[in-house]
Amino acid sequence: MPRFSVVVPAHRAQGFLRACLDSVLAQSFGDVEVVVVDDASPDACGLIAEEFAAADPRVRPLRLDRHGGAGPARDAGAARASGDYLLFLDADDLLAPGALAAADARLTRTGDPDVLLVDHERFTVRGDAESGGDRDALAEAGGVVTASAHPGLLTVHPAIWNRLVRRDFWTGHAFRFGDAPYEDLAVANRVLLTAGRVACLARVCVRRRVRRAGSLSTTPGRRHLAVLDRYESLFPQVPGDGPRAALYAQMGAVLAAVGGPRGPLGAAGRREFVRRAGPLLTRYRPAGRPWPEGDRGRWLRGAATGSYARHRARLTAAAWRAAAASRARAGRRALARVALRGYYRLRRLARLDPCLVVYAAYWNRGVACNPAAIERKARELAPRLRAVWVVNRADRDRLPPGTAHVVAGSRRYWAAMARATYLVNNAGFPGAVVKRPGQVYLQTHHGTPLKHMGMDLLDRPAAACAMDFARLLEHADQWDYSLAANQHSAETWERVYPSDHLTLPAGYPRNDVFYEAGAGDVRRARECLGLAPDTLAILYAPTHRDYLRRFTLPLDLDALSRALGPGHTLLVRAHYFYDGVPGLPGVPDALDAPQDPHARAAVVDVSHHPSVEALCLASDALLCDFSSLMFDYANLDRPIVVHGADWEAYRAARGVYFDLLSGRPGETPGVVARDEAAIAEAFRGGAWRGPEAAALRAAFRARFCAYDDGLAAERVVRRVFLGETELLPYRELDERRPAPAGGPKAAATAPAGR
């Protein structure tokens, strides 16, 4: 029998569950079991639980047949638990290092009481930590006490995750959560009121993630009225004036948080909330008790009247005073900008156009990437839809002839953004876009994350020096769907863009072409680049380095071309951040002149080629460093060579999610080379396409190309535009037929296992 049973209900928490379980299993005190309750989660929570269980017998997964909410999931987990003490931990929270050892020591010293209250801290998406506010109350309690003798216990945050409950005490009193909203608040209080022996630990044991969306506490709705019912049922159970006063203080804090202007109740339910809260606040208010100071006190004084009109009048007067001061500080805005925003507000009053889709890619550079592939498929499957692309004024010449478009920031842009029912982007829309009710926003992203992204960049100043994290979060809040090409991406996007969007595991539509193209398409792609049939084409795609002020090629192309020798062509594509750079910096002038085919490989600058997918089809191998293009290229099952000379610097500056150079299957896609000579040796000696490289490539492809099977665009169109609820099934990896290589050694570089 383990000392502790940690019960973790999991629903739509795949971005956080791994970290939660790691925090428990990595505890220095190891006598613990973890009951992970998959609450019929539509994402990979169940698979993650099974994965952890396969690696650690202390993890006990439990799958529920239907989604019932956190309460029934906790009840099911408690029934399965076998430990001395129960700890209910949410799937997005963490146990602080050493928490279980400290809890065990305190329980042992106090003779295994019924309940152990522990301290917690809250941490935000920015990583900022703040005290839970309970330390003083916990320290003041001293030894083993009861709630009636020490009412201060009831002022501790009323949650089930900050108290360890002896399991036989729990089962002996038949505690249950059920499925009623806020029942965990009631259970947390009943546990304390019933316990004959309570100990306290004034040490942070639980790190509570402040959710921005996706939880009961952040989702608007009338169900938050249930908190009034919970307190109405609790007060008759509280003996004595001291405990009742403590519970009243707790109730005031909770009601002000739920029904206040920043609370989750929403405007529709506030009138009824105040009407019902008034008698509750009046009936149980201790005689002579003063109202708290500040915003909470103002809210409670108004709510205690039971009149929403009087309550609203108090808050409105305070809000007008604050707004007047803000307007005085803000000053006048530019007239043109004000006029455009006014026009945008006016256009938002019109009805949405159910057939209008606004697309954008790469910060409005043109028709490209996943949005372009989705538009092509939508023309086939949903011809009623009309596409409009957002483009920067300077990039209009890049658009294919006849492309319907609006210039970013223009009057027509704001009109389109106001009227479109569908918004599709792989980055972000410019300006203060307000997503209207009824609009559907699909965020497609534009790569699989190797480097840190989103909120994980908070502690990476080289990468995030100019990043507005508040704007980033506001943007993520607008998404309805977040596209993922693999499970790694799905978990990462949910964690680093913490909002209430739905992950769409459809694959990347831009990669469909790798399975649709045939030998003729590959031949034409090569001919367009002037590649001779007998040349081995190597696509070289270096990534952006945040720690460098200007673009510098990581490789000496002159040295590499000489080392490779004739019969090779380097197709060099600079990162799109540098698309304004004329030519390739660092390329010797000699390479721009006619080249001696007997002395060196040819070098072709393809940085401004309109389609990176066509470049992939034309090439026989990829030479990359840390570019996310490697994940897309793996779909072709063609060799990948990694140039890793500055991996340590890149990893330190940007942060990475796994060790690309480790040589472990699923992390390294092929041969790793540190310099030009090693790269040339890999190609000339055959290691680039040898059996070891093929085995690494196969494992990498299995991990990161799971959803990319040529049907991604169709999945997206059917789900987002046509409203189909079930995604098309994935083709098995060994049944997929990527486009064949077209170079002289195509037969030798055929996909592994084919």
Q: What does residue 247 show for φ and ψ, rounded to 5 degrees?
A: -65, -35
| Residue 564, pLDDT above cutoff 80 | yes
- Per-residue pLDDT, 551: 64
The structure tokens listed for 216 are 């009961």
- Per-residue pLDDT, 607: 87
The secondary structure of 637-706, three-state, reads: CCCEEEECCCHHHHHHHHCECCCCCCCCCCCCCCEEECCHHHHHHHHHHCHHHCHHHHHHHHHHHHHHCC
- Residue 586 pLDDT grade (very low, low, confident, very high; cuts 50, 70, 90): very low
- Per-residue pLDDT, 388: 98
Residues 464-515 pLDDT 10s: 776 788 889 999 999 999 999 999 999 999 999 999 899 999 999 999 999 9
Q: What does residue 387 show for φ and ψ, rounded to 5 degrees?
A: -100, 135
| Residue 536, pLDDT above cutoff 80 | yes
> Mean pLDDT across the stretch 387-405?
94
The three-class DSSP label of residue 182 is coil
The percent of residues above 90 in pLDDT, for the chain, comes to 69
Q: In the chain, count H helices and then E strands.
A: 27, 22
Cα–Cα distance between 266 and 264 in angstroms, integer?
6
The percent of residues above 70 in pLDDT, for the chain, comes to 89
The structure tokens listed for 312 are 């609203």
Cα–Cα distance between 329 and 606 in angstroms, integer?
50
The structure tokens listed for 81 are 């638990």
Q: Global pTM?
A: 0.80
Q: What ranges in 200-288 are assigned the alpha helix state H?
A: 226-234, 241-259, 267-283
Pick from 13, 22, 16: nearest CA to 52: 22
Neighbours of 510 (CB within 10 A): 26
The domain defined by 517-712+737-749 folds into Rossmann fold (3.40.50)
For the residues of 298-357, what is the DSSP string, one character each? HHHHHHTT--HHHHHHHHHHHHHHHHHHHHHHH-PPPHHHHHHHHHHHHHTTSPPEEEEE
Pick from 371, 395, 375, 399: nearest CA to 385: 375
Cα–Cα distance between 324 and 326 in angstroms, integer?
5
- Per-residue pLDDT, 331: 45
- Residue 316 pLDDT grade (very low, low, confident, very high; cuts 50, 70, 90): low
- Per-residue pLDDT, 441: 98
**338-511 CATH choice from 3.40.50.11820, 3.90.1150.10, 3.90.1710.10, 3.30.70.330:** 3.40.50.11820
For the residues of 81-133, what is the DSSP string, one character each? --SSEEEE--TT-EEPTTHHHHHHHHHHHTTS-SEEEEEEEEE-TT--EEE-S
Q: Which residues lie below 8 Å from residue 270, measured CB to CB, with a gap of 6+?
A: 259, 308
The three-class DSSP label of residue 79 is helix
| Residue 743, pLDDT above cutoff 60 | yes
How many residues are given for the chain? Answer: 754
Distances (CA, A) of 103 to 98, 112, 202, 441, 637: 9, 10, 10, 46, 51
- Residue 597 pLDDT grade (very low, low, confident, very high; cuts 50, 70, 90): very low
Cα–Cα distance between 420 and 388 in angstroms, integer?
9
Average pLDDT, the chain: 89
Cα–Cα distance between 318 and 336 in angstroms, integer?
32
The three-class DSSP label of residue 567 is coil
Q: Domain spanning 4-219: which superfamily?
A: Spore Coat Polysaccharide Biosynthesis Protein SpsA; Chain A (3.90.550.10)
User: How crowded is the C-beta side of 382, counted as CA atoms within 13 Å?
Assistant: 25
Interaxial angle between packed helices 294-303 and 241-259, expressed in degrees from 0 to 180 and rounded to the nearest 10: 100
**Strand ranges in 135-213 using DSSP code E only, listed in sequence order:** 163-166, 198-209
The structure tokens listed for 170 are 């729990």
- Per-residue pLDDT, 314: 64
Pick from 723, 521, 535: nearest CA to 613: 521
> Mean pLDDT across the stretch 168-195?
95
Residues 63-114 pLDDT 10s: 999 999 999 999 999 999 999 999 999 999 999 999 999 999 999 999 999 9
- The amino acid at 735: E
Q: Compute the C-alpha angle 430/432/434, nearest 5°.
A: 115
DSSP class of residue 464?
A: H
The sign one gets for the Cα dihedral 428, 422, 408, 578 is: positive
Cα–Cα distance between 710 and 672 in angstroms, integer?
29
| Residue 333, pLDDT above cutoff 50 | no
Fold agreement (338-511, 517-712+737-749): yes
Cα–Cα distance between 301 and 6 in angstroms, integer?
41
Q: What ranges in 348-486 are assigned the alpha helix state H?
A: 369-381, 411-419, 461-464, 469-478
Cα–Cα distance between 578 and 753 in angstroms, integer?
38
> Mean pLDDT across the stretch 153-178?
96
Beta-bridge partners for 443: 425, 482
First to last CA, the chain: 51
Q: Compute the C-alpha angle 405/410/413, nearest 5°.
A: 50
Pick from 290, 291, 308: nearest CA to 300: 291
**Strand ranges in 466-544 using DSSP code E only, listed in sequence order:** 481-483, 502-504, 536-541
Distances (CA, A) of 79 to 72, 161, 190: 11, 17, 19
Cα–Cα distance between 187 and 127 in angstroms, integer?
30
Pick from 363, 359, 358, 369: nearest CA to 610: 369
**Domain boundaries defined on the chain:** 4-219, 220-331, 338-511, 517-712+737-749
| Residue 159, pLDDT above cutoff 60 | yes
Q: What does residue 348 show for φ and ψ, rounded to 5 degrees?
A: -70, -10
Give the CA-trace dihedral at 28, 29, 30, 31, to 10 degrees: 180
8 A C-beta contact, residue 370 and residue 427 = no
Cα–Cα distance between 525 and 481 in angstroms, integer?
33
Q: Are strands 386-391 and 405-407 parallel, antiparallel or unpaired?
A: parallel
Residues 565-577 pLDDT 10s: 999 999 999 876 5
| Residue 739, pLDDT above cutoff 70 | yes
- The amino acid at 216: L
